[in-house]
């Protein structure tokens, strides 16, 4: 390995990622404590982590400009994968989002699709000079809308919202006017009553429970009520690892995936939760710094997309746990159990490292 490579690595980003991954293993051990399959989940997590680290190294080594050069293959392959999951995908919990990969578990194409859309959209925006009016945004909206339709069909409303956030952030960085983006947001809001009719029953119940979880305390509002109890009961210092009653007594559904932040809040308290959020803040700071210091428009756009993806996941996941956002099934990056999410986050981190390594002309 070249000496300049080691010197130029953003070690703060690497350190924040490593600490978050380690934090995730500890919290996962507590969240699955007493599960009959706890050992299998830990082994799977370690395998997923090894694959994710390999993806990070590959993504950091490959020049991001070479990756963007394969846009037709990358975009077309993403659409094929999203279509395939609707045909041969495995159904779980009322959704068809996974392709079974034997002992590795389920592969979720919509997760890795986020990175593919970031790269292809960045390339699309890079070769477009200027976004002078609202109608000039239409090709980019369609660029994201097509995969979104496949994802909504699964159904996976949470990932669709992530793509919308990525689109808005990247358009803004590319030069779209704030008024035009506000116009798009207004149009989306105007369509929301029509979208309601296409939602599944469980999605409607989740939105209703967000407004008033006590209206259905044993149904749609149950998870939110129990999550708020768990986080609040941790107080300042928490009850200690493996000592959370809400956790150990299994009051919280999906406590090792979507609601893993409840384990942090209950067992590690406000201090533990603050430490976790501080690590995410460091990660996002470095991601935005890399976007700001990128050598070209393409690198800045890709870094912006990856940073937005991470920020949206953290804000929405933590928010739904404490009742600030609706329950959407979005995982908490590097903490929630799930191989596809972990792989996507680490590969995205590798892309950031690639942009940082090549921020100077000649590399």
pLDDT tens for 15-26 read: 999 999 999 999
pLDDT reading at 94 higher than 70: no
Residue 189: per-residue pLDDT? 79
The stretch 224-250 carries a mean pLDDT of 87
Residue 211: per-residue pLDDT? 73
Question: pLDDT tens digit string along 251-310?
Answer: 888 888 889 999 999 999 999 999 999 999 999 999 999 999 999 999 999 999 999 999
pLDDT reading at 41 higher than 80: yes
Residue 264: per-residue pLDDT? 95
pTM, 2 dp? 0.93
pLDDT reading at 348 higher than 90: yes
Residue 63: per-residue pLDDT? 92
* Element (DSSP H or E) covering residue 100: strand 95-100
What is the full DSSP assignment across 131-178? --SGGGGHHHHHHHHHHHHHHHHTT-HHHHHHHHHHHHHHHHHHT--H
Higher pLDDT, residue 52 or 208: 52
Contacts of 62 (CB under 8 A, 6+ apart): 354
Contacts of 43 (CB under 8 A, 6+ apart): none
**Mean pLDDT across the chain:** 88
Contact 335, 260 (CB under 8 A): yes
The stretch 180-209 carries a mean pLDDT of 76
What is the full DSSP assignment across 337-360? S-HHHHHHHHHHHHHHHHHHHT-S
Distance CA 207, CA 73 (A): 37
For residues 194-232, b (16+ Cβ closer than 10 Å) or e, as one string?
Answer: eeeeeeeeebebbebbbeebeeeeeebbbbbbbbbebbe
pLDDT reading at 197 higher than 90: no
Residue 185 pLDDT grade (very low, low, confident, very high; cuts 50, 70, 90): confident
Whether 348 is covered by a domain: the verdict is yes
Whether 247 is covered by a domain: the verdict is yes
- For residue 54, the enclosing domain spans 3-357
Whether 110 is covered by a domain: the verdict is yes
Contact 260, 248 (CB under 8 A): no
Distance CA 223, CA 264 (A): 16
Q: What is the torsion angle, in degrees rounded to the nearest 10, for the CA atoms of residue 22, residue 257, residue 264 and residue 219? A: 180
Domains held by the chain: number: 1
Distance CA 148, CA 328 (A): 15
Residue 134: per-residue pLDDT? 82
pLDDT reading at 198 higher than 70: no
Contacts of 155 (CB under 8 A, 6+ apart): 95, 199, 200, 203
Contact 131, 176 (CB under 8 A): yes
Distance CA 160, CA 346 (A): 20
pLDDT reading at 349 higher than 60: yes
Whether 263 is covered by a domain: the verdict is yes
Higher pLDDT, residue 219 or 153: 153
Work out the number of other CB atoms within 10 angstroms of the CB of residue 261.
26
Whether 363 is covered by a domain: the verdict is no
The pLDDT > 90 percentage for the chain reads 52
């Amino acid at each position: 390995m070249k000496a300049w490579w080691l010197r130029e690595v953003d070690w703060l980003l690497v350190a924040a990622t490593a600490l978050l991954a380690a934090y995730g293993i500890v919290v996962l051990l507590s969240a699955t404590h007493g599960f009959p399959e706890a050992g299998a989940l830990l082994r799977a997590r370690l395998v997923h982590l090894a694959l994710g680290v390999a993806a990070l190294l590959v993504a950091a080594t490959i020049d991001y400009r070479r990756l963007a050069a394969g846009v037709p293959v990358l975009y077309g392959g993403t659409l094929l994968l999203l279509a395939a999951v609707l045909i041969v995908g495995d159904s779980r919990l009322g959704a068809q989002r996974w392709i079974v990969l034997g002992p590795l578990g389920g592969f979720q194409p919509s997760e890795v699709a986020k990175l593919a859309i970031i790269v292809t959209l960045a390339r699309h925006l890079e070769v477009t000079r200027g976004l002078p009016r609202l109608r000039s945004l239409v090709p980019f909206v369609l660029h994201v809308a097509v995969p979104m339709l496949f994802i909504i069909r699964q159904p996976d409303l949470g990932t669709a919202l992530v793509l919308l956030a990525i689109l808005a952030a990247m358009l803004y960085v590319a030069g779209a006017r704030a008024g035009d983006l506000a116009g798009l947001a207004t149009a989306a809001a105007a369509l929301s009553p029509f979208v309601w009719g296409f939602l599944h029953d469980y999605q409607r119940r989740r939105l209703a429970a967000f407004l008033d979880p006590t209206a259905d305390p044993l149904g749609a509002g149950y998870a939110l009520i129990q999550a708020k109890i768990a986080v609040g009961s941790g107080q300042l210092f928490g009850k200690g690892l493996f000592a959370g009653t809400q956790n150990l007594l299994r009051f919280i559904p999906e406590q090792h995936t979507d609601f893993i932040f409840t384990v942090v809040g209950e067992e590690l308290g406000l201090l533990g939760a603050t430490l976790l959020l501080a690590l995410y803040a460091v990660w996002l700071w470095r991601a935005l710094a890399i976007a700001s210091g990128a050598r070209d428009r393409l690198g800045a756009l890709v870094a912006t997309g990856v940073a937005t993806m991470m920020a949206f996941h953290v804000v929405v996941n933590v928010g739904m746990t404490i009742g600030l956002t609706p329950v959407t099934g979005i995982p908490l990056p590097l903490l929630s159990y799930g191989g596809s999410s972990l792989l996507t986050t680490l590969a995205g981190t590798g892309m950031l490292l690639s942009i940082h390594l090549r921020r100077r002309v000649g590399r």
